[in-house]
Amino acid sequence: MIIRPGTALGPYEVVAPLDAGGMGSVFRGRDPRLGREVAIKVLPVASMKDERRVKRFLREARAAAAVTHPNIVAIYDVGEAEVDLAAPVGAERVALRFLVEEFVEGPSLRRLLRSGRPPLGRLVEIATGIARGLGAAHEKGLIHRDLKPENVLLDARGTAKIADFGLVRFIYPDTAAPGDEAEKDDVTETLTRSGFVVGTLGYMSPEQVRGDPLGPSSDLFALGIVLYEMLAGETPFSRSAFGDPFTAILKEPTPRVLERIPGTPPRLAHVIERCLEKDAARRYPSAARVLVHLEELRRELRLDTGRAASPRASAVLPTVAAAEPTRRTARPLGGGHQLALALAGGALAVLVAFAGGWAVGRTRPAPASANPVDPRLLADSWRATRVLDGLAERCVAAALSPDGRRAALASAGDGVGAELIVAAPNSSPEAATVAAGFASIEAPAFGNASVLFVGARDGSPSGIWLARLAEAAGLLAAADGEPQPVAEGGEDPAVSPDGSLVVFVRRSAGGSQLWLASPGGAKARPLVSAPGRSLRHPVFVEGGGAVLAVDLADPAGPDAGSGILFSSPLADARLVPFGTGRAVDAGVRPAPLGDGTLIVVSWPDRSAWLLDGAGETARRLPFGAGLTHLAASADGRSVLTRTGNGPLILWRRG
């Protein structure tokens, strides 16, 4: 469409052409009444011949104009004018409809991507702006339906602005599915018409391809595609083996971003993969939830500025600088067969003062205007109650019973002499040995009147053992017979909340598997296989309805020691990313609490964090950084920690 500079469209003056495409022609214009530059979008004549569509377009344009947000291109006006257009012979008088929008002095995201992938920080800034704009519009009931790099503009300051919100299905109906059943009959072009997807199909959601009614989650699918393209330089389904783009969108598996695009921060990879879920119900419930993760990633990247960081290290939980502690090592017995738990008064006072000062200095209460803070997060709600000095040098792993009244502590052995100790640290310094004579003991886990652990003895292969407990002297637990083998070759056992199931890991050269069994080892069966993954530390979550495990990073790579959380529902045995893909210390077992929350130790600063049941929000707990041990009671009232090679400290809340 050729409109000469100086042509008047109502009160607006055309200055110069800017762009043209299926959505119409865009001109730089001027509003002489306000003395400001504007963008004038002249709509295709054919799309405005149906009066019913014109009415709906005007209604939606008014609704879009009511959304004022810095990440949405503002709509100022909708108008109609008759102008003379150049024709093969002379000129033709044509009635045009046009939109008057905010003039954005800057390129589209498409033009930016033509010059290559933007730096990671810039990419996340753009993604954050898009998510903010989507969230603001979705709150007003508007759905874009055609989000793609061409519809994201970048102003002179680099702010991302979404254009054409809510107008696509009325301006150019061939590019998007109708929004509801009532409008399907009015759309003259159907989704099966050849050519309707040109320039748009690569960004459609599965429900959009099928012609189903659309909701905000359809825009989130498109956001996932845009994020993927910013990283990879191509859309996720552009190389599909199906060949047919319709089938690719509907059936191509959700891409594993970390495999396709090495070096992607795990948190960003998780956001993309969840946005690209085929089932709309499995995507984020809102753009606001996406924004939470992108904002957290922005903070992490700012924290990493100026220091060399690996891809996983750039996606850790928000941290403060901390000295890198020495990793725990198994030390030989220093003497004595029975271990004593000594309450060191002077050491306790020093440690309480140190830990309290650390916690108060590193955590601040929320401002009065913020949401109330969970009492478990407040530094002054926790106190160090015991220092277990006698066990510090020998302890390689620890566990707390669900009520926090007992602790199981595994000591290192030098070929022989490893022990499993059960104690009641809240009420008595005494301890009882429930397993001895093993070459090694690790990974204790409480069951019903029992403790499971991984041990090796008598030259036999390592496996899972069960030591039964019997009450003696009140809370103190004593051994009830010799430990019994449960699963040869099994590792990292954990018991379900009701005590009826045990989950553990088996490894092979090609990967690892999660297994389920009864506490005594009967009825063992594989839950899920993970080729190429090194799973460890499985725990039951969701009240026992799912298993969470840590996938260890390449031990020879720069992220050795870190891991990413995955979950597997018992009823649907498959591994899915858990939460935001945050990096955790793979050497410390996650600690699920009875209320559905979860404590993890972050990587690389090794501080304790409380996650919600979905793993999507996190708050730091006041135990300091450099943790090499952490165990928590399921009731959330007791935590056992160790920092570096220091003593074991038992913390109580309240």
Cα–Cα distance between 598 and 45 in angstroms, integer? 58
Task: Report cis status (omega within 30 of 0) of the bond before 604.
Answer: yes
Strand partners, 547: 540, 568
Six token digits for residue 140 = 């007003």
CA 584 to chain centre: 12
Q: Which long-range contacts (CB under 8 A, 24 or more apart) does 406-410 make?
A: 406/446, 406/475, 406/477, 407/631, 407/640, 407/650, 408/434, 408/444, 408/445, 408/446, 408/451, 408/453, 409/339, 409/444, 409/648, 410/441, 410/442, 410/443, 410/444, 410/453
Cα–Cα distance between 646 and 166 in angstroms, integer? 59
Cα–Cα distance between 463 and 452 in angstroms, integer? 10
Question: Is 632 in contact with 400 (CB distance < 8 Å)?
Answer: yes
635 is catalytic: no
Angle 492-495-496 (CA atoms, 0-180°, nearest 5)?
135
Amino acid at 30: R
Cα–Cα distance between 505 and 158 in angstroms, integer? 48
**How far is the CA of 311 from the CAs of 194, 261, 269, 611, in angstroms?**
43, 11, 11, 22
Question: Is 293 in contact with 267 (CB distance < 8 Å)?
Answer: yes
Q: How far apart are the first and last CA of the chain?
A: 73
Q: Which SS3 state, helix, strand or coil, does residue 510 take? A: coil
Residue count of the chain: 654
Cα–Cα distance between 379 and 355 in angstroms, integer? 10
Angle 555-559-560 (CA atoms, 0-180°, nearest 5)?
30
Angle 81-85-90 (CA atoms, 0-180°, nearest 5)?
135
Catalytic residue (choose from 19, 77, 84, 146): 146
Which of 300, 341, 532, 309 is CA-nearest to residue 424? 341
- What single-letter DSSP state applies at residue 497? T
Six token digits for residue 549 = 């495990």
Element (H, E) at 433: strand 431-438
Catalytic residues: 146
